[in-house]
Amino acid sequence: MDFNAQFAKDVREGLSSEPKYLLSKYFYDDVGDILFQQIMTLEEYYLTDCELEIFENQKDKILSCFSNDKGTFDLIEFGSGDGYKTKILLEYFTIEKVKFNYIPIDISSSVLETLSEDLKENIPGLNILPICDDYFHALEELNKVDFNKKVILFLGSNIGNFKGDNAIPFLKHLHADMNENDQLFIGFDLKKDPQIILNAYNDREGITREFNYNLLDRINRELGGNFDRNSFSHYPTYNPVTGEARSYLVSLKAQTVWIEVLSQSFSFEKWEPIFMEVSQKYSLQDIQHLAKHSGFKIDNNFFDSRNYFTDSLWVLK
Ligand code: AVI
């Protein structure tokens, strides 16, 4: 079996811990990518619409912040996916004849190929230079050969998927790879009516449940596991005090799961949870705290009309 050794190691670690967990970065295989695209179109999953609205309504102001010195800049996107939202900015910047390069960075080459083909066809004249690599390695390599001002996009509240205080080391690392005039444009889902947040992770069609189950299926497919997804129920929570939306898969019975690649079995007690994902929600003070403790200052916050979401423009302190 052709398997990813890091995936196997992380699964072993997560299922041997107390409490058990799996890493949500492994949600995104080919099936997971499609499920996430579906999530982004769900009525309950307001995040995508909020960011679309910010881009649609404030693209001129966003542009004037990005191209403040009028030189060529690099628009570098971490985890571009299908570029659905970014396209609004790319189209507008191209129409306005702005001098910029679009550099999407993603670990998945198929995602980048689809995106590049789509953009070449739909936005003629766009300079697109995709890089298939992990974010920091790509940024470090880019820094050796490219001296344009960088604007880094980290959209969709992807930062919220870092557990606990892990967001700060990530942002500090990013800070270390940025130069004086560079900017970070980073999306945060804001604290709001807890029910609205909970519904976003508990959609009526069950796509989010499927998204979680897919990780069990992936372990079966890639690591020779024998998870029976029907023996687990999907349990999303939201804690308005901490701002954490968390999802769990809870074992409906005492059971043992065998994972061939690990030559190991893992026992579950009845009602034992596997912690699957955190999606952190933020107050403006929380965002201020993150910026401050990672060496940034906030230059501008762009909000949607309901104040559900903000795209925050950060510069080095
Ligand atoms: C990618 N990330 C920001 C999404 C989120 O909202 O945490 C992933 C997701 N999980 C369930 N629905 C969407």
Ligand 1 and 225: CB distance under 6 A: no
234 close to 247: Cβ distance less than 8 angstroms: yes
Predicted pLDDT of residue 80 = 82
By most ligand atoms within 8 Å of CB, the mutation choice from 23, 39, 77, 80 for ligand 1 is 39
Ligand 1 and 38: CB distance under 6 A: no
What distance in angstroms lies between residue 99's CA and the mean position of ligand 1's atoms?
33
pLDDT digits (tens, 9 = 90+) for 64-95: 999 977 789 999 999 887 888 999 999 999 99
Predicted pLDDT of residue 233 = 98
Ligand 1 and 238: CB distance under 6 A: no
63 close to 183: Cβ distance less than 8 angstroms: no
Beta strands across the sheet bearing 73-78: 131-132, 100-106, 73-78, 149-154, 183-189, 309-316, 296-303
Q: Distance (Å, rounded) from C-alpha 290 to C-alpha 285?
A: 9
pLDDT digits (tens, 9 = 90+) for 285-315: 999 999 999 999 999 999 999 999 999 999 9
Lowest-confidence region among 156-170, 211-225, 244-258, 265-279: 156-170
- Atom 5, ligand 1: residue with shortest CA distance: 279
Predicted pLDDT of residue 111 = 87
By most ligand atoms within 8 Å of CB, the mutation choice from 26, 244, 248, 279 for ligand 1 is 279
What distance in angstroms lies between residue 44's CA and the mean position of ligand 1's atoms?
12
Ligand 1 and 32: CB distance under 6 A: no
Dihedral sign of CA atoms 37, 41, 62, 191 in order: negative
Q: Maximum distance among all alpha carbons in the chain?
A: 63
61-100 per-residue burial string, b: 16 or more CB within 10 A, e: under 16:
ebbebbbeeeeebbbbbbbbbebbbbbbbbebbbeeebeb
What distance in angstroms lies between residue 107's CA and the mean position of ligand 1's atoms?
17
Asked if pLDDT for residue 129 goes beyond 70, the answer is yes
Predicted pLDDT of residue 2 = 56
What distance in angstroms lies between residue 186's CA and the mean position of ligand 1's atoms?
15
Q: Distance (Å, rounded) from C-alpha 6 to C-alpha 97?
A: 44
Q: Distance (Å, rounded) from C-alpha 140 to C-alpha 176?
A: 10
Lowest-confidence region among 3-7, 59-63, 66-70: 66-70
pLDDT digits (tens, 9 = 90+) for 140-185: 999 999 899 999 999 999 999 998 889 999 999 999 999 999 999 9
pLDDT digits (tens, 9 = 90+) for 99-124: 999 999 998 888 899 999 999 999 99
**Tokens of residue 315, six digits:** 């510069």
- Atom 7, ligand 1: residue with shortest CA distance: 279
Ligand 1 and 272: CB distance under 6 A: no
Average pLDDT, the chain: 95
What distance in angstroms lies between residue 249's CA and the mean position of ligand 1's atoms?
16
Ligand 1 and 156: CB distance under 6 A: yes
Q: Distance (Å, rounded) from C-alpha 114 to C-alpha 9?
A: 30
**Tokens of residue 152, six digits:** 């880094």
What distance in angstroms lies between residue 209's CA and the mean position of ligand 1's atoms?
12
